[in-house]
């Protein structure tokens, strides 16, 4: 009984370290093959179009609604203290520091991440990656690395779009609908947002999320069982793992960036 328990624990620990080793090696392999991919910018721009442009609609619409809800909820609380002119600052800070990068990353994982996993998984199932290897073309360099860099570039841009549209949503609800003074809305925002502390830290967050989500999606696709069921499981894992990573990383980075 005890022997079996110890054996199960030992097996689990070995599996965990093997998994960590595999993930680390895959990430290292991806970085090692990146220079080759970066020498062919057309492959990356094609992927930016695919994973960035196609995510734009969901990011824009979500950003608008998140900004509108922020303004409604923010006004409700701020007005209780007679501080409703601070609404612009609240909306902008919430979006730039947290909601922009985090919600964009979660939406990106659901929209582009699943698409990447399914694409790579189906390429594997259809022997396309093996065919590429047999043509002396490294699939990590030709397929994975351009998508990885495209994700890294697309994510901060999408998060910026999300935040910008969110601010517009906040303005529409706060100023146009509720009647907060437009001058106060914009001037409080302008006066209390710091470029390095708020905007650049937000961009840095979204860049890190871009690495986490895109790598997770590509890794899950590349390691997927080459069957319909395997690809389906890998796609689900992408959403679950990437989302949890984004939320965990957000906590760590927020603690590091915004502690006083």
Partner 1 sequence: MSNLVEIRDLHFSYGDRPILSNLSMDFPRGKLIAVMGGSGSGKTTVLRLIGGQIRPQRGAVTVNGENVHQLDTEGLYRLRRKMGMLFQFGALFTDLTVFENVAFPLREHTDLPEELLRDLVLMRLNAVGLRNAAQLKPSEISGGMARRVALARAIALDPRLIMYDEPFAGLDPISMGVTANLIRNLNDTLGSTSILVSHDVNETFSIADYVYFLSQGKIVAAGTPEEMRRSSDPYVKQFVNAEPDGPVPFHYPGKSLAEDLGLGGKR
As measured in angstroms, the least distance from the Cβ of 119 to partner 1 is 8
- Asked whether position 182 contacts partner 1 by CB under 8 A, the answer is no
What secondary structure does DSSP assign to 15-50, as a single string? HHHHHHHHHHHHHHHHHHTHHHHHT-HHHHHHHIII
Nearer Cβ to partner 1 (107/145):
145
| Smallest separation (angstroms) from partner 1 to the CB of 231 | 14
What lies within 8 Å, CB to CB, of 221 at 6+ separation is 116, 117, 118, 119, 120, 121, 123, 124, 231, 234, 238
Q: How many CB atoms lie within 10 A of CB 19?
A: 11
Nearer to partner 1, 137 or 252 (CB): 137
> How far is it, in rounded angstroms, from Cα 213 to Cα 138?
22
When asked if residue 137 is in the footprint of partner 1 (CB under 8 A), the reply is: yes
User: Is residue 28 a contact point for partner 1 (CB under 8 A)?
Assistant: no
Examine residue 32 and tell whether it contacts partner 1 (CB under 8 A): no
* Near partner 1 by CB under 8 A: residue from 35, 57, 127, 176: 127
Span from 10-18, 130-138, 205-213, 239-247 in contact with partner 1 (CB under 8 A): 130-138
Stretch that binds partner 1, among 6-14, 60-68, 69-77, 136-144 (CB under 8 A): 136-144
- Determine contact, residues 95/70, Cβ cutoff 8 Å: yes
Return the residue of 126, 179, 228, 248 that touches partner 1, per CB under 8 A.
126
Q: Distance of CA 27 to CAs 19, 36, 115, 144, Å?
A: 12, 15, 20, 11
Tell me: does residue 39 bind partner 1 (CB under 8 A).
no
Is 45 an interacting residue with respect to partner 1 (CB under 8 A)? no
Minimum separation from the CB atom of position 173 to partner 1 (A): 42
The answer for residues whose C-beta is within 8 angstroms of residue 253's C-beta and 6 or more apart is 201, 204, 205, 208
Q: Judged by CB, which is closer to partner 1: 50, or 108?
A: 50
Rounded to the nearest 5°, which phi and psi values hold at 225? -65, 130
Among 13, 14, 18, 131, binds partner 1 (CB under 8 A): 131
Each residue 86-125 as x (binds partner 1 by CB under 8 A) or -, in order, gives ------------------------------------xx--
- Total residues at interface with partner 1 (CB under 8 A): 14
Residues 6+ apart with CB under 8 A from 100: 63, 159, 160, 162, 163, 166, 202, 206
- 162 vs 167: CA distance, rounded Å: 9
Contacting residues toward partner 1, per CB under 8 A = 122-123, 126-128, 130-131, 133-138, 142
């Amino acid at each position: 009984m005890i022997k079996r328990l110890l054996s199960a624990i030992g097996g689990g620990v070995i599996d965990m370290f093997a998994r960590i080793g595999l993930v680390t090696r895959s990430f290292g392999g991806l970085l090692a093959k990146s220079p080759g991919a970066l020498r062919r910018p057309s492959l990356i721009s094609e992927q930016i179009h695919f994973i960035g442009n196609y995510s734009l609609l969901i990011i824009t619409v979500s950003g608008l609604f998140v900004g509108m809800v922020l303004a409604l909820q923010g006004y409700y609380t701020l007005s209780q203290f007679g501080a409703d002119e601070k609404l612009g600052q609240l909306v902008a800070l919430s979006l730039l520091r947290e909601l922009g990068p985090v919600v964009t990353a979660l939406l990106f994982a659901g929209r582009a991440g699943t698409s990447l996993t399914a694409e790579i998984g189906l390429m594997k199932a259809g022997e396309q990656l093996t065919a590429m290897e047999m043509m002396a073309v490294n699939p990590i360099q030709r397929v994975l690395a351009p998508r990885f860099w495209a994700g890294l570039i697309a994510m901060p841009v999408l998060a910026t779009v999300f935040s910008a549209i969110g601010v517009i949503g906040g303005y529409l609800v706060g100023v146009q609908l509720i009647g907060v003074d437009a001058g106060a809305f914009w001037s409080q925002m302008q006066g209390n947002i710091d470029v390095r502390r708020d905007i650049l830290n937000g961009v840095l967050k979204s860049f890190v999320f871009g690495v986490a989500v895109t790598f997770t999606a590509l890794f899950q696709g590349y390691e997927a069982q080459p069957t319909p069921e395997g690809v389906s499981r890998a796609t689900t894992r992408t959403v679950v793992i990437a989302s949890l990573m984004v939320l965990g990383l957000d906590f760590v980075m927020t603690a590091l960036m915004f502690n006083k």
